[in-house]
Amino acid sequence: MRHCIISTLTISLMLPLSLFAQDEATNEGVSVDPDNPVYSWHKEHDRNGTGKFYLGREIARVMSYHGAPWLERPEREKEEKISVLLEVLGLKPGMTVVDLGAGSGRISFLMAPKVSPKGKVLAVDIQDEMLALIEKKVDASGITNVIPVKGKVDSTGLKPNTADLIIMVDVYHELEFPHEMLADFAKILKPGGRVAWVEYRKEDPTVPIKLVHKMSVKQVRKEASQKEFGLEYVETIGKLPQQHVIFFQKPKK
């Protein structure tokens, strides 16, 4: 579950916002899921999206396991400043961290030493191929506190009140059932636990990422702030070159 990046040479392939405006303005070609009315399906949509919409946002297509080498590219630190991300997450020894949409496990294995010795990183993904890559890394590295977990499309499958931090690096915009996942986050977080959205900035047109693979702070807050989830906005950190880190928290009891 990762985003699809495009180089500056192919940025012209990004589709205009007018593709979304037509449906929203006329409601033509729009159908609501009778079994789950929080979602709607739009006949006219971004070719990089699924046609499924949630609170005005089109859900993007999921990046398959074939993109795993791109997640491991050497230049990723320069482009994304993962080291800075690790600093702002506030990782501490003993924490249980959920890396949702862990992919090849690049971020999981970087977080693992920071929560050692008693903490752990639950590397959750829905693709068996990604989980197999993580298992190979565990065997090769000897890092035993990264635990591969097979997730579901509508839940993490984890126990309630077990997570100190949930992190999604360019993942949330691809979740097939974001409403159900938000409810799951609220359930599995410990009181005081946090969720971190790491998403490419939709507010910045110079970020060379396909439109449906970006998210604005406004949209994240719109979705995560729904009262039924009980999550509270904390802050947005803008120290990364192209992404924001948006934090929500489960209230302390």
Q: How confident is the model at residue 181 (pLDDT cuts 50, 70, 90)?
A: very high
Contacts of 56 (CB under 8 A, 6+ apart): 24, 219, 222
Residues 78, 163, 234: CA angle, nearest 5 degrees: 65
Model confidence over 185-221: pLDDT tens digits? 999 999 999 999 999 999 999 999 999 999 999 999 9
Q: How confident is the model at residue 15 (pLDDT cuts 50, 70, 90)?
A: very low
What pLDDT sits at residue 72? Answer: 74
What pLDDT sits at residue 11? Answer: 27
Mean pLDDT of 234-251: 98
Mean pLDDT, rounded, of the chain: 88
3-class DSSP string for the chain: CCCCECCHHHHHHCCCCHHHHHHHHHCCCEEECCCCCCEEEECCCCCCEEEEEECCEEEECCCCHHHHHHHCCCCHHHHHCHHHHHHHCCCCCCCEEEEECCCCCHHHHHHHHHHCCCCEEEEEECCHHHHHHHHHHHHHHCCCCEEEEECCCCCCCCCCCCEEEEEEECCHHHCCCHHHHHHHHHHHEEEEEEEEEEEEECCCCCCCECHHHCECHHHHHHHHCCHHHCCEEEEEECCCCCEEEEEEECCCC
Mean pLDDT of 1-17: 33
Q: How confident is the model at residue 27 (pLDDT cuts 50, 70, 90)?
A: low
Mean pLDDT of 124-133: 95
Euclidean distance between CA atoms 253 and 118, whole angstroms:
24
Q: How confident is the model at residue 19 (pLDDT cuts 50, 70, 90)?
A: very low
- Which CATH superfamily is 65-249 part of? Vaccinia Virus protein VP39 (3.40.50.150)
Q: What percent of the chain has pLDDT over 70?
A: 88
Question: How many Cα atoms occupy the beta-carbon half-sphere of 152 within 13 Å?
Answer: 8
What pLDDT sits at residue 16? Answer: 32
The answer to whether residues 130 and 104 touch, using CB atoms and an 8 Å cutoff, is yes
What pLDDT sits at residue 83? Answer: 96
**pLDDT surpasses 70 at 222:** yes
What pLDDT sits at residue 35? Answer: 83
Contacts of 210 (CB under 8 A, 6+ apart): 3, 4, 5, 6, 13, 14, 15, 46, 48, 60
What pLDDT sits at residue 59? Answer: 98
Residue type, 151: G
What pLDDT sits at residue 28? Answer: 65
What pLDDT sits at residue 39? Answer: 97
Mean pLDDT of 75-100: 95
Least confident window among 7-11, 109-113, 173-177, 235-239: 7-11
The answer to whether residues 103 and 214 touch, using CB atoms and an 8 Å cutoff, is no
Least confident window among 1-5, 64-68, 76-80, 120-124: 1-5
Q: How confident is the model at residue 253 (pLDDT cuts 50, 70, 90)?
A: confident
Region of 210 please: left (phi>0), alpha (psi -120 to 50) or beta: beta
Mean pLDDT of 223-242: 98
Euclidean distance between CA atoms 40 and 80, whole angstroms:
33
* Residue spans per domain, the chain: 8-60, 65-249
